[in-house]
């Protein structure tokens, strides 16, 4: 492993730990040349392919999911740890459900499903990019089911309060 600071390939592993529920190994390394420390992660890659809309294939990447979730949650009161945990849950669900191939549409829909539970504003942001909203009507169409569900929940709360 080359040091990211001095590019020497003379390093040693100081500590190794299993992380992400056994799906990765975290290694703390020490460069014998510049004496700096750095961390590397080992994960199995290439097990699952994502078929994109243009029919090309890519290796599945949790990092890409996390990047999209982070963009959707930007300036929301959502901890970075929550976003990472959400990405890990989505990855785990996908790896448990699909063997060799998953479509980008299924990945996007799953991300939206998880985001809808976490934060509705982040959900709409993600949906607007993922579904390529072109005008305000697209937002209205996406928000209508959410607002209906929210309205029903408020009506139930109001009726319970009036009964008391």
Same domain membership, residue 128 and residue 97: yes
pLDDT one-digit tens code per residue, 77-110: 999 999 999 999 999 899 889 988 999 999 999 9
- Using DSSP's 3-state secondary structure scheme, residue 79 falls into coil
Domain assignment present for 97: yes
Are 26 and 50 in the same domain?
no
- Quick one: 18 and 82 in the same domain? no
Cβ-contact 116, 91 below 8 angstroms: no
Q: Report pTM.
A: 0.62
Within-domain flag for 158: no
Short-list 70, 18, 69, CA closest to 43? 18
Structural domain span for residue 37: 8-43
- On whether both 17 and 70 belong to a single domain, the answer is no
Is residue 123 domain-shared with residue 80, that is, in the same domain? yes
Residue 52 falls inside a structural domain: yes
Q: What is the pLDDT of residues 110-137, one digit of tens each?
A: 999 999 889 988 988 888 887 777 788 8
Q: Of 92, 17, 85, which Cα lies nearest the Cα of 48? A: 92
Half-sphere exposure of 103 (CA within 13 A, CB side): 6
From CA 124, how far away is CA 134, in angstroms rounded?
13
Q: Quick one: 53 and 128 in the same domain?
A: yes
Number of domains, the chain: 2
């Amino acid at each position: 492993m080359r040091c990211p600071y001095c590019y020497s390939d003379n390093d040693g592993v100081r500590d190794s730990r299993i992380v992400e529920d056994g799906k990765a190994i975290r290694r703390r390394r020490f460069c014998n040349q510049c004496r700096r420390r750095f961390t590397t992660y080992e994960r199995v890659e290439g097990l699952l392919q994502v078929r994109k809309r243009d029919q090309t294939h890519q290796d599945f990447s949790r990092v890409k999911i996390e990047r999209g979730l982070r963009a959707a949650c930007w300036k929301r009161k959502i901890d970075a740890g929550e976003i990472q945990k959400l990405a890990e849950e989505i990855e785990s669900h996908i790896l448990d459900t699909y063997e060799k191939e998953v479509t980008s549409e299924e990945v996007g829909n799953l991300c939206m499903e998880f985001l809808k539970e976490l934060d509705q504003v982040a959900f709409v942001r993600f949906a607007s990019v993922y579904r390529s909203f072109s005008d305000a009507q697209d937002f209205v169409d996406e928000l209508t089911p959410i607002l209906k569900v929210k309205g029903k929940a408020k009506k139930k709360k109001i009726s319970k309060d009036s009964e008391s």
